[in-house]
Amino acid sequence: MKAYFTYFKLKFMSGLQYRSAAWAGIATQFFFGFVYVMVYIAFYESGEKQLPMNLHQVITYLWLNQAFFALVNQFHKDPELFQMVKDGTISYELVRPKNLYFMWYFKILGQRLSNVVMRFIPIIFVTSLLPYPYGMEGASNVYHFFLFLCSLMIGTLVVVALSVLYPIITLATMNEKGIVNVMLSIADILSGIVVPIPFFPLFLQKISKYLPFQYISDLPFRIYVGNVSFQFGIRGIFIQLFWFLILVFIGFSLMKRNIKRIVVQGG
């Protein structure tokens, strides 16, 4: 356990060195956030009745998306891991007497956490100072806030379990583009980062209920804005835990299978 934690710490600390990248990231997040917010404000002006979320809820949701983007986005591809698979450096990893799956898991977890730690505070701070209707609002109540924290933490574990799958698949396909990119773009849509789930067409809402993606960031953010009830949130957390275990199991056994078949070509 201690060895894995060291991997986590290594990635976490080295991630903190990239401060200029973090500032660039924050600028990007602000820009996208503003564009999204203005688009929704313009849409809400059309005066439709019976919308699944009200305007403040949507805007707070959008800013949360931007603030925690580095933590929950789908397109996190660690170039180091993919490189390792493609150029054969993975053979060094295989001689280490530790489980490769958990090594990779903690590496990605460390990276994601260090990326988000440098980004979310300025975004939340500035956006909560913005005037109505652009700014972000507080949680709907204290209980929802704590539920949000729990759910975000488990959501992080779920998304990392997903991100580890991609280099593992690459072990078999040797190409990190084709199928992996298709999976990434499906995950990206269904995670609610592009559009909050309540705005989906009905049939897609039904489909995504049975997939892990909406339990990463959509659930915690909707808990925060109070779009779902407390009971619903609790139930959601159990589903999150379920998906976490399933995904770790899939990744772990897939890794085992792919490593058996691995061929390292000299060098």
* C-beta closer to another protein: residue 145 or 199: 199
Bond preceding residue 52 cis, omega within 30 of 0: no
Residue the block writes with tokens 């580095």? 70
CA distance 258 to 77: 19
* C-beta closer to another protein: residue 141 or 175: 175
Q: How far is the CB of 23 from another protein (least distance, A)?
A: 9
Query: Residue 141 in 3-state DSSP?
Result: coil
Q: How far is the CB of 43 from another protein (least distance, A)?
A: 5
Query: Residue 81 in 3-state DSSP?
Result: helix
Q: State the number of CA atoms in the 13 A half-sphere of 222 facing the CB.
A: 27
Instruction: Indicate the length of the chain as a whole number.
Output: 267
* C-beta closer to another protein: residue 124 or 189: 189
* C-beta closer to another protein: residue 138 or 178: 178
Q: How far is the CB of 247 from another protein (least distance, A)?
A: 21
- Using alpha carbons only, what angle is made at residue 169 by residues 164 and 172, rounded to the nearest 5 degrees? 145
Contact residues for another protein, defined by CB under 8 A:
21, 24-25, 27-28, 31-32, 34-35, 38-39, 42-46, 48, 51-52, 175, 177-179, 181-182, 185-186, 188-189, 194-195, 199-201, 204
CA distance 167 to 105: 11
* C-beta closer to another protein: residue 70 or 154: 70
- Using alpha carbons only, what angle is made at residue 118 by residues 191 and 227, rounded to the nearest 5 degrees? 35
Query: Residue 247 in 3-state DSSP?
Result: helix
Q: How far is the CB of 153 from another protein (least distance, A)?
A: 27
CB atoms under 10 Å from CB of 86, counted, come to 15
Q: How far is the CB of 21 from another protein (least distance, A)?
A: 6
* C-beta closer to another protein: residue 38 or 121: 38
Q: How far is the CB of 52 from another protein (least distance, A)?
A: 7
* C-beta closer to another protein: residue 40 or 148: 40
Helix 142-173, helix 230-260: angle, nearest 10: 20
Closest CA to 36 of 156, 119, 151, 136: 136
Q: How far is the CB of 72 from another protein (least distance, A)?
A: 17
CA distance 10 to 110: 8
